[in-house]
Structure 1
Amino acid sequence: MKKLFYLLALSMLTLTSMGEGINFSGTWKLNNEKSTLFEQFSLAPIQMIVTQTADTLVVEKYGNFQGTDYVTKDKFSLDGKECVNVGWMNSKKTSTAVWSEDGQTLTISSKMPAQDGGEATMKEVFQMAENNLKVGLNAASSMGEMSETYLLDKQ
């Protein structure tokens, strides 16, 4: 009976921890040499500050796009529910964040209006690669598609 109790307790602990993912919190700096950036232009942030709790992920991105510095701050719900943040040019960006079954990868899927009146989509995949934060980005709109992979070093 004692063994059954311990087995049951261990099973509950395992099931509880399966729903939790990796914690991506920290200040991260882009490693240009290890990243694969889009040839024509890049959406890669120079620095990211990630704050994660059990329920939310806050991602601050600091970068430079076509000579203009920018800062974005997005807050995502980690329960798969839709959330709204500010997109490019103060548009409304709607996103969902979903953990992989093993809790090692977080996929954030976003939609926002495009400049031509259509819709732009973005998928960011967060995971750890050794001691680096790895973010895969796929973006698409009527103007085309792009993919990048950022490798960021913890500061």
Structure 2
Amino acid sequence: MKSLPETLPDETNALQKMVLDYQSTVDQLQEKLKWYEEQFCLFQHQRFGASSEKCPDQMELFNEAESILDSLKQDDSDLEETISYQRKKPGRKPLSKHIPREVVRYELPEAERVCECGHALHEAGEDKSEQLEIIPAQIKVIEHVQVKYGCREIGIG
């Protein structure tokens, strides 16, 4: 609501009343602005501020527990525990022995059974894996045997 110089009244009392009205409007708007700024800061703090830390010294509680634990570890370093049980090894149960088996053996050809040093490689062991193959109306186990080779001269394998 802008007033042009031509529309302003000539009387001093009317001008003073207009100035007072404008001043009260400015004061109200400044109060509103201050309230909105406070609300903005509050929402910013709720959204981005610390939410789980209720007390600023709360983190020191964990440091005390760690220092107590460290002192206990130093006392217990002299004691050694002996495990009186054996843990179960992870793995699947073996497939039943009564299922017919087909053995697929993977061996190196004779020409490739030579070590880098020139000596012959010997059989050093086998890796076995079993795969259950289900054919409708027929079940069998295919056993894959992968032969490992090593050199006796160098000690590999």
Greater per-residue helix proportion = 2
Decide which structure has the larger Cα Rg and report it: 2
Return the structure number with greater relative CO, CA threshold 8 A, min gap 6: 1
TM bucket, shorter chain: under 0.3
Greater per-residue strand proportion = 1
